Structures are given as structure tokens and as C-alpha cells.
Amino acid sequence: MNVVRNAVGSALRCRTYATYVPPASLREFVPNPSRQAMKPPPKSPNFYTGRAEYYDQLNDLETAVQQTRQALQSLQLLPLPVFARNTIPPVQHVWQSKRDVTQWIGTTISMTRYRRLITTLNQLDQYRRIADVAGVDVLADRIQDILSVFEKPNKAAILAHGKRKPVEFDEYGRTYTTGRRKTSAARAWTIAVQRPSEVTAPEPETAEEPLPQIESTVTSALGDDPLEPVQVTTSNIIVNNRPLADYFPQLPDRERVILPFKIAGLIGAYNVFALVRGGGSTGQSGALSLAIAKALATHAPDVEPLLRKAKLLRRDPRMVERKKTGRKGARADYNWVKR
């Protein structure tokens, strides 16, 4: 047995393998699916988060914040002391809402993710204000280009909402202002009083000798030059083509109208032509007072702090309380009668 086994083993070691492959077998050859071309990798590294668009924007903002911080640190603008940070002018942000961001990105985001996005934008905007105050306009403009993508398109209209339009002068130097009080409305045109020009007295043809005058101790103490008379002008206030005293016969109403002149110390400096509508005498006088105060603040900006401190540039928000059902008035009740 061993002899046969040794003979077979030596024969197997010397066996040659055939390398010929029939052509027919190659026609039905199916390649290994594991060796096929692999799928291309996703374009975004945040593909497997499920919200690749959101995290791509967030990563770009965080990268911008980091690069801006490094640039400000290289310019010795960070970190800022507390007193310097308080001097930076505040700004009102007009970021897109959560719904707008969702529609723009194309992915539903939660409130937590939206707050994280807004926090990053606020941090970047703070760096923009620091660069703007420091005079680094190139860096501030680049940051603004990034922030403008996340701001509302009607930002200017939103910021201008609620701001009072500046009062302008017409070609004659008049100002047009309005005022309201209760259900009354007033429109006022205000113009400065034209002071009379100085009239020079004609010199006499023949010089006459002056009469001897008795020197007064008061005149000698003040000086030899006589005091010039003070020219006092008067203000004309016309309300609905009627004088002020005729239209408002009650003294409290007239005092309410001329109160801005008294506070500003400009009695006799401006003429007013006004038109009032609606309400009673109290509401009309209050509306006219507000219109006059706005005009004086425009003609004389120095008196605006006085008028504002006296609360004459603010509309009185009080209104008449409505009558209640089952009551005699707004709060008064009917007299109780025992039956």
C-alpha cells in the first residue's frame, strides 16, 4: 500500500494544470457584484444627519464667526473691556422667521435649531458692529454680505415702522404738523413772526440847541447811553378762520393751546393757522397744543428737550370710557329705589 501511495503522490506533484478556458463559458459570465463601481460619496459631510442643508448653513456661519474672531484678535479688537462694549451702538435685528428659514432651506427645523442659528447670527453681527466702529470697513462689509442672506427682504420698511417722519419746511418757511386728542384732530401751519425793520428818523435840517436836562441818578449809574426800547411782537393764532379767544371762549382751553409757547419761552415768536375737527373743546384744544408743540420743536430744536420733558410732544392716550350695559354711564349706576 505504501508503495502505491508514494507513486500516486509523486504523480500529483508533477501534474500540470490546464489554463485553457472555452469561449462559450465567457459569454454567460456574471461579474461579482461586490466588484462593481462604488457609489459616489455624498456632496455634504452632513448628509447622514437628515438635515444636511441646515447644518451646512450652520457650519458656514460658525466658520465665519471663528475667522472673524481671529481677525479681530489680530487687530487687538478682542476681547473688549466692558466699558468699550457698552459704547457700541445697539441695533435692531430683523432676522427671518422660523417659517421663512424652513421654506428657504427646504428642511423642517425645530425651535431649538432655529435658536441656535439666531444665536450664531447675533454673535456674527456683534463682531460686525465692532469692526464698523473700529473703522475696518472691509471686514464689516463682508460680514454684512453674509448677514443679509438671513435678513428679511423688507428690513427697511420694518425698521421705519413707528418712526415719526421729520417735519419739513415749505418754500415760505412754514411747517405743517398734526395733533390728536380723544376724537379730535388738528392741523397747524406755523411760521415765524416777521419783525418790523428799524426805521431811521430823518435828520433835522437846522440844528437846534438842546434844552438843559436834569441828570438822574439812575441814568448816570447805568451809563450815558439811553436804553433802547424792546420791540415786543405778538403771535396770531387763527383757529378755523377765527381768533383764538373767539373760538375757545373758556380760559382753560386757551391756556392749553398756548402752553407750548410758555414752556419754550417763544410767546410772540410764531404765528399759527390751524384747522380743528371733531370732538369737543377739550379735545380740540389738546390736539392743537400737540400740533403747536411739534412745530416749535422743528423751528427751535433747542427747546425740544423742554417740550419733551413737559410731555407736550406725546399724544394723550386717554379716551372716554364706554357706557356699560345696565348702568347709567361708564361706571355710575342707577339710584336704587325700594319697591
What mean pLDDT value characterizes the chain? 85
pTM: predicted TM-score of the whole model, two decimal places: 0.56
Structural domain boundaries in the chain: 52-160, 164-194+234-318
Q: What is the CATH number of domain 164-194+234-318?
A: 3.30.230.10
Closest listed residue to residue 191, CA positions, set 241, 231, 237: 237
The string of pLDDT tens digits covering residues 181-207 is 999 999 999 999 987 664 444 555 555
The string of pLDDT tens digits covering residues 77-121 is 888 888 888 888 888 889 999 999 999 888 899 999 999 999 999
Lowest mean pLDDT among 53-57, 205-209, 279-283: 205-209
Among positive and negative, which fits the CA dihedral 8, 10, 12, 18? Answer: negative
